Structure formats: structure tokens, C-alpha cells
């Protein structure tokens, strides 16, 4: 499933072609994805100007001129790609329609935004822009890891007394929004913290040091266009490249990349997810 860097990369790719433009026509080709689409979604989108494209956790939010916001979640296999961009940032010719093109936005400029989702685990919803933060999918989220509300004291307080492994704590969207399996593994490696360690038993100084490490891991991934392991593509259809920089994720049995460490990357299963870490230098 795309994590924060992938979603942010898509948002940044779509913003130049969508913001300020008008949805001349919306094609909604099925009644639902993971959940039913909102009533009259095509009608409510048609004619709306996209005022702003923003992100909250793993959701893309398009604020519209009519006072509603389109919420988009890519799910496991969802892609949002642009074609026919008059700014010249994307392929000029529109591709042939594909089987899983479930929602297509035809922009007034001639650009086309296509939401393709083979497994249909993605989602779209419409909600009032004012008070959007109380939407059921957004109200439960913790602070953004790249925002000012995610700071050392917040994480220290969140971990205090927690008996769950630190890996599970960082995946808890109520503690920090948008982190997923890949980037938690990479951040814990850089912090030299074992994913097995109980969150409440990590010293305050080590917890505080996790905050800038998490920020840097995410920034590095965004700069590389995210990680393409299976289905993820950027808005122009290109792959992300951060998977070539993984220190531990997917490297089971390979040597640790820490200089002078003779350990290797191990894999354990925690809450049904694989955790990769150096069995020697992560404690």
C-alpha cells in the first residue's frame, strides 16, 4: 500500500495540472471501490474548479470551488495519473482506456486525470471543506510527521508506559499519521532501535532522536519519488526509486550496511507484517 512519500509524490505531480483548473466532466464508471461512491459524485464534481490539492496522512484532498472536498485514498493498487497536460509535464497523448479506469476527470485545459485500481481497495468521498478534519477517516489521525505538531515531546509522551513493540507504536496512526511498514523499518534501522523493543522502555533521548530520523527518511523517499515495489506509479506514470536505497527492507539475509558491523538483515513477523532489521546493531 502506498505510504506517505508515495501519496505526497502523487499530490505534487498532480498539483500543477489540477490546481486552478476546472473539471469539465467527471466519468464514474462503477458504483463503488472499497466503499460506495457518494451520491451523484460525477454530477457534483463536474464544473468544479480545483482550488487546492493537499495531503493528510495517506489521503489526497482536493478542495473544490463549490465548498466540497474530494477525498482520495489509493488503497493497495490505486494509481492517479495525468495525461494531455498543456504545461508539458506529462505525456501529451491520452492513453487508451484500461479495464480498471474507474474514475476519470476531464479537465477544462485538456488534461485527463485517471484513477485506476485493479483490486478496488481505494476509496473516494465528498465532504464539506469546512470541518473536513472531522471526517470519520481523518478525525482519528495523529500529527503529520513532517509538520510542527510532530515533535520530540509528543513522541516521548506517546511512548510513555506503552508495552507494545516500537514498530507497532509507530504504525499506530493515532500517534503519527502516514507512516507504513517500509519507512518504519528504515527509520528504526537508522536509529539503531530493534523493532522488538517495547516503546515504553526506550529512553527519552533515543525516542527524541527518532523524530528527525523519521523526517529525514520520509524526505529522502519523497525526493526519490517514493518506492515502487508492485503497482505504485508517480503521476506521470514513472516508477519511484527509493527502493534502490533500502537499508533493511526486503534485504533479509544480506549484510548490514553499517560500517564495521558484521551482522546481517533478519526478518520477523509482527502483527502479520514483516519487520526487517539488523540483528546485531539494532538493540
Catalytic, 34? Answer: no
Alpha-carbon distance of 222 to 245, in angstroms, equals 12
**Annotated catalytic residue: which of 2, 5, 165, 195?**
2
From the candidates 11, 55, 58, 167, give the one annotated as an active-site residue.
58
Given the residues 196, 197, 206, 273, the one annotated as active site? 273
Calpha distance 283→263 (Å, rounded): 12
CB crowding 104-136: b at 16 or more within 10 Å, else e: bbbbebebbbbbbbbebebbbbbbebeebeebe
Which are the contacts of 33, defined by CB distance < 8 A and separation ≥ 6?
75, 102, 117, 120, 121, 122, 123, 124
Helices of type H across 192-259: 204-223
Instruction: Report phi then psi at 190, rounded to 5.
Output: -65, -30
**Residue 241: all three cell numbers together:** 526509486
2 is catalytic: yes
Q: What's CA 151's distance to the chain center, in Å?
A: 20
273 tagged catalytic? yes
CA–CA dist 95, 89 (Å, integer): 15
Q: Are 115 and 122 in contact (CB under 8 A)?
A: yes
Q: Which of 3, 8, 68, 186 is an active site residue? A: 3
DSSP 74-131: -TTTEEEEEES-TTSSS-SSPPPP-TTEEEEEEETTS-EEEEEESS---EEEEEESTT
Beta-ladder partners of 123? 73
58 in active site: yes
Residues annotated as part of the active site: 2-3, 58, 273
Amino acid at each position: 500500500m502506498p505510504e506517505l512519500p508515495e501519496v505526497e509524490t502523487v499530490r505534487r505531480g498532480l498539483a500543477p495540472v489540477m490546481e486552478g483548473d476546472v473539471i469539465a466532466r467527471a466519468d464514474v464508471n462503477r458504483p463503488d471501490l472499497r466503499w460506495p461512491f457518494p451520491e451523484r459524485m460525477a454530477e457534483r464534481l463536474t464544473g468544479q474548479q480545483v482550488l487546492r490539492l493537499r495531503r493528510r496522512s495517506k489521503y489526497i484532498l482536493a478542495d473544490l470551488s463549490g465548498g466540497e472536498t474530494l477525498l482520495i485514498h489509493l488503497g493497495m493498487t490505486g494509481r492517479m495519473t495525468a495525461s494531455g497536460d498543456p504545461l508539458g509535464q506529462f505525456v501529451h497523448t491520452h492513453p487508451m482506456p484500461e479495464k480498471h479506469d474507474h474514475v476519470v476527470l476531464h479537465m477544462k485545459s485538456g488534461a485527463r486525470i485517471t484513477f485506476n485500481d485493479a483490486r478496488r481497495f481505494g476509496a473516494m468521498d465528498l465532504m464539506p471543506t469546512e470541518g473536513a478534519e472531522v471526517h470519520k477517516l481523518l478525525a482519528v489521525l495523529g500529527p503529520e510527521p513532517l509538520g510542527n505538531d510532530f515533535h520530540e515531546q509528543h513522541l516521548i509522551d506517546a511512548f510513555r508506559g506503552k508495552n507494545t513493540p516500537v514498530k507497532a507504536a509507530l504504525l499506530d496512526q493515532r500517534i503519527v499519521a502516514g507512516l507504513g511498514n517500509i519507512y518504519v523499518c528504515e527509520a528504526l534501522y537508522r536509529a539503531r532501535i530493534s523493532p522488538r523493543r517495547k516503546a515504553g522502555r526506550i529512553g527519552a533521548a533515543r525516542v527524541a532522536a527518532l523524530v528527525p530520523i523519521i523526517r529525514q527518511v520520509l524526505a529522502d523517499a519523497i525526493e526519490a519519488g517514493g518506492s515502487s515495489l508492485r503497482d505504485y506509479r508517480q503521476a506521470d506514470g514513472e516508477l519511484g526509486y527509493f527502493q534502490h536505497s533500502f537499508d533493511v527492507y526486503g534485504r533479509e539475509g544480506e549484510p548490514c550496511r553499517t560500517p564495521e558491523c558484521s551482522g546481517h538483515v533478519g526478518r520477523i513477523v509482527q502483527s502479520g507484517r514483516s519487520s526487517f532489521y539488523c540483528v546485531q546493531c539494532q538493540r
